[in-house]
A and B are shown apart, each in its own frame.
Chain A
Amino acid sequence: MTLYLQTLPFLLDGLLITLLVSVGVVLLSILVGIPAGCALVFGPLWARVPIRLYADFVRGVPILVLLYFVYYGLPAIKVNLPSLTAAIVALTAFKTAQIIEIARGAFQSIPIGQTEAAKSIGLGLFDRFVYVLAPQAVRRFLPPFINSVVDTVKGSSLVSLLGIVDLMLSLQQVIGRTHVALPLYAMGALMYFAINFPLSALSRRLERRFV
């Protein structure tokens, strides 16, 4: 028991890094991904083509490849990022592509009749977007988005491969010193679960409410 109490602060530091990476990635990818997703639906062709290519390409590449590309690859062109920054950049690049797709789907799954009804009572593009499409898109966006946040938290364990001491790496370090694997991994798993389960539950609730 003392062993767990002694290791707990160390694991909590790791958990904090995991949360920092996840929150950073989610916020940044929302900031870029939602406008890009809207541009993919409503924008002119010259905006849609590069966004489409980006989203398709990035989603087709393993996250680990992106991580190594940013951390080990970019220095070749004189872009040297510290490991934590590199990790956030790589995961954000991936998450942004997902958010673009989720946002696009949220808008495109709204029946065309909604736009037609809005047009027929004289709403211009801006009003149609703000008062008719966006409120409905938000409801369609939230459930897959929250699932995607869960994926981010889990996927952030990959940053341990860049030597960042997140929950995953702190677990491994503790286990390396104590050789007590099973209970510690179980504890780590529970910590991930403690973050993700409420999110999944929220997602299910939203789905029931809106879909």
Chain B
Amino acid sequence: MTENNVMNEISIEPVIRIAGVTKSFGSNQVLKGIDLDVGKGQVIAIIGPSGSGKTTLLRCINFLEEYDGGSIRIDGVEVGYKGGAGERRRRRSDRELATLRVDAAMVFQQFNLFPHLTAAQNVMLGLVKSRGKTKSDARHIAEKWLTRVGLADKFDALPSQLSGGQQQRVGIARAVAMEPKVLLLDEITSALDPELVGEVLAVVKELAVEGRTMILVTHEMAFAKEVADRVVFTDQGHIVIDAPPASVFDEQPNERLRAFLSRFDVVGP
């Protein structure tokens, strides 16, 4: 189903292995058999028209969305279900899911910061409650990450006191502080004013450069071209193209991709 699958270039066991994943909302099948492997340290940009299933796919990876068929494994562990081949699959308990989800922390389009907690407390909560850190360790880690994302003077600010770009950088710090095996970024600049997009993307680029495994759903084509190792183009529930950015943006090897990219004027060869 996928053309130009470049996964075979990678010899090591992938961090994420998605095989034949299907998902329907009622009678509307939004994922029609998705196969995708992500190697350690790879940055994958998923692009595609709205309704193509890209956000749904991302949400399946940490099981915020349940998938109907197929399998998603993080480091060999099936995400949402247990039960081997042939057995009837059973949904994991909330506790098991909680443990697994930390491995795929997500940054959200709407930030979803906890409004009653300060920036530092937002980052600390998961460290203390799911990573078992002491409060002072967690505070230390939180301050380290908030400093990394340029918010050294905002440790004790409430989300309501921060700009959108600052809030989203807290969101990134909160996710990445968990040291997830993969970082999921769901259109993280779509809700931002244009002048605030740059500061958020700069942070993501740094994370990419230092070799974190990331999957990002994005409409920032220029950014995808710049940071992604592979660009995945989804359309109507299928992965149509999975190729290096140069190939996707410069050669535009597919009619539907060309139609999609023609709506963006930022990508030149």
Contacts and interface: CB of A to CB of B under 8 A. Distances in A.
Contacts, number: 73
B112 A121 contact: no
B105 interface: yes
Interface in A130-170: 131-132, 135-136, 139
Given A120-B62, A120-B64, A125-B94, A114 B129 contact: no
Interface stretch (B21-29, B40-48, B113-121, B248-256): B113-121
Interface string B52-90: 000000000010100000000000000000000000000
Interface string B123-161: 001100111000000000000000000000000000000
Interface of A is mostly: helix
Nearest to B65: A116
B238 interface: no
Given A113-B108, A114-B114, A135-B116, A120 B130 contact: no
B130 A122 contact: yes
Interface of A: 111, 113-114, 116-125, 127, 131-132, 135-136, 139
A123 B129 contact: yes
Interface of B: 62, 64, 94-95, 97-99, 101-102, 104-106, 108, 110, 112-116, 125-126, 129-131, 174-175, 178, 184
B95 A124 contact: yes
A39 B182 CA distance: 35
B180 to A, nearest CB: 9
B101 A132 contact: no
B125 A123 contact: yes
Contacts of A136: 114-116
Contacts of B62: 119-120
A135 B115 CA distance: 10
Contacts of B125: 118, 121, 123, 131-132
Nearest to A120: B106
Nearest to B109: A113
A124 B178 CA distance: 15
24 contacts: A111-B112, A116-B64, A116-B112, A117-B108, A117-B112, A119-B98, A120-B175, A121-B101, A121-B105, A121-B126, A121-B174, A121-B175, A122-B99, A122-B101, A122-B102, A122-B105, A124-B94, A124-B95, A124-B98, A127-B98, A135-B116, A136-B114, A136-B116, A139-B116
